Amino acid sequence: MASKLFSIPLLGRGTSDVESLASYIHRMAYEHGIGVGELFRFCSRNMPTELNNKFAVANYYIDVGEIIRVNDTSDMLLEVFENMTGQNLRAGSLTWMRHIITRMRGEIYPGFRWCPECFSEMEALDEPTYFKLIWNFESVSHCLVHRTELIKNCEHCGSDQSTYRKRAPMSVCQECGQPLSKRKKRLISTELQP
- Quick: pLDDT tens for 146-170: 999 999 999 999 999 999 999 999 9
Burial class (CB in 10 A: 0-12, 13-18, 19+), 186: exposed
pLDDT cut 70: percent of the chain above it? 85
Q: Are 90 and 131 in contact (CB under 8 A)?
A: no
- pTM of the full predicted structure? 0.88
Q: What pLDDT was estimated at residue 108? A: 86
pLDDT bracket for residue 36 (50, 70, 90): very high
Q: What pLDDT was estimated at residue 98? A: 65
pLDDT of 8 above 90: yes
Q: Which residue has the higher pLDDT, 150 or 188?
A: 150
If you average pLDDT over every residue of the chain, what do you get?
Answer: 87
pLDDT of 103 above 50: no
